[in-house]
Amino acid sequence: MTSSNPRRLAIDGGRPAFPEGPPGWPTQDEAVHRALEEVFADGNWGRYEGPYLEKLAAGLAAKHRVRHVRLCSSGTIAVELALRGLKVGEGDEVVLAAYDFPGNFRAIEAVGARPVLVDLAPGGWTIDAAAIERALSPQVRAVVLSHLHGSLADMRQIRELAERHGLAIVEDASQAPGATVQGRPAGSWGDVGVLSFGGSKLLTAGRGGAVLTQRDDVAQRITIFADRGNDAFPISQIQAAILLPQLAALEVRHAARLASVQRLVRQVGQFPWLQPVALPAGPSGADDVAADNSPAFYKMGWLISAGGNNGLSVEAASLARSWFTKALRAEGVAMDEGFRGFLRRTSARCRVAGPLENAVRAVAQTAILHHPALLQPTEYIDRLAAAIRDVASQLPARISNAPAADQ
């Protein structure tokens, strides 16, 4: 895929592939505009309770096949509420992948529990089920896990493990609304599921979140903790009103994003130093996605290693990732580095269980493409694929003097 006469990249002073910059978010959605006008006209915009909150909770419950939905102020507080509803607290341990959203680590600390860090499954960004089992101690009460960057956790295996050992599962689907995991909606496998409606999310109200559960006892404990004369962690009628049309459109937009990812993967092609998220293949092969495993893409993940199989050091891989993301941002593409992970957390704050090789790799090598690009027409996706190819083809030469890893 390399060229003897590569295009001059924008980072070197060439013309950007997208001089207008990346597409914005949220979009100019007429259905959302109408919802805002409606909630203003009927006067519900200033009320504590009302029909929009009720409709949103009912819609989320139906979509995720759960009895209870607690709307709240953020996905981060939703994780904390989930843990409190599960009676996780002082002296308990909670298993968490060493590469995850930072708020999940802090939510575990907020209830007085101690995070136990484990590795990712190979080739992706979700927790390794086998590593969970190796991390168990008498103090471990729960697992917090996330579906990240288009990869899906093995919920069937994790569910079986949790039931065998008496663990609770908090399934963070903040990056994966609309996804299907082994035949069930993301967020419905755990004892508690979590959603986020933050400003950059696939379902957005600027802020907000939701807790999903089938368990009456969990829902009751959350109610007791959160109700303090009024709801201590609320979302507003306005937020609920603008989420309703987005929830109605989620299935169609999910399919469009998935089709764009498939097109990107095909057109970018095979670089040994650029690995896109692995899509679960359906019966027709790579161009099909298994109906019972349909990933969502808040961020589309890539792993970058300019040495391919040549064994670059972690530092060199991080350098490669840094150049790759900067070069694409210069082209007008919303490509960023992944999470920093928890590798530098001290033993005073957490316990590390086993090697974290895949998490180390994810921290150093992850690049993530922001989702608004994935709702653009096919012509845009083709231009995007060409820009990624152009940058990727020049990546090894840019760090050719990087040190090799110890063998």
Q: Quick one: pLDDT at residue 397?
A: 85
Q: Supply the range of the domain harboring residue 256.
A: 251-398
How many CA atoms lie within 13 Å of 391's alpha carbon, on the beta-carbon side?
27
The candidate with the shortest Cα–Cα distance to 239, out of 207, 196, 194, is 207
256 with 375: CB under 8 angstroms? Answer: yes
My answer on whether 95 and 216 are in the same domain is yes
Q: Where are the beta strands (DSSP E) in 174-248?
A: 180-181, 184-185, 192-196, 209-213
pLDDT tens digits, residue range 37-62?
A: 999 999 999 999 999 999 999 999 99
Q: Is residue 316 part of a domain?
A: yes
What strand order describes the sheet that includes 184-185?
Answer: 184-185, 180-181, 293-294
Exposure letters 139-171 (e unless 16+ CB within 10 A, then b): ebbbbbbbbbbbbbbbbebbbebbeeeebbbbb
My answer on whether 189 and 268 are in the same domain is no
My answer on whether 241 and 330 are in the same domain is no
CATH code where residue 355 lies:
3.90.1150.10
pLDDT tens digits, residue range 271-317?
A: 999 999 999 876 555 455 567 999 999 999 999 986 655 566 788 88
- Among 198, 216, 246, the domain boundary falls at 246
Q: Is residue 22 part of a domain?
A: no
Q: How many domains does the chain have?
A: 2
Rounded-to-integer distance, Cα 220 and Cα 232, Å = 15
Tell me, what amino acid is at 39? V
Q: Quick one: pLDDT at residue 398?
A: 81
83 token code pair: 């843990």
Confidence (pTM): 0.94
Q: Quick one: pLDDT at residue 307?
A: 62
CATH code where residue 193 lies:
3.40.640.10
Q: Quick one: pLDDT at residue 2?
A: 46
Q: What angle do CA 346, 352, 356 make, to 5 degrees?
A: 110
Q: Is residue 13 part of a domain?
A: no
Rg, Å, the chain Cα set? 22
Residues of the chain with pLDDT under 50: 1-3, 286, 405-407
My answer on whether 70 and 192 are in the same domain is yes
pLDDT tens digits, residue range 93-111?
A: 999 999 999 999 999 999 9
My answer on whether 68 and 155 are in the same domain is yes
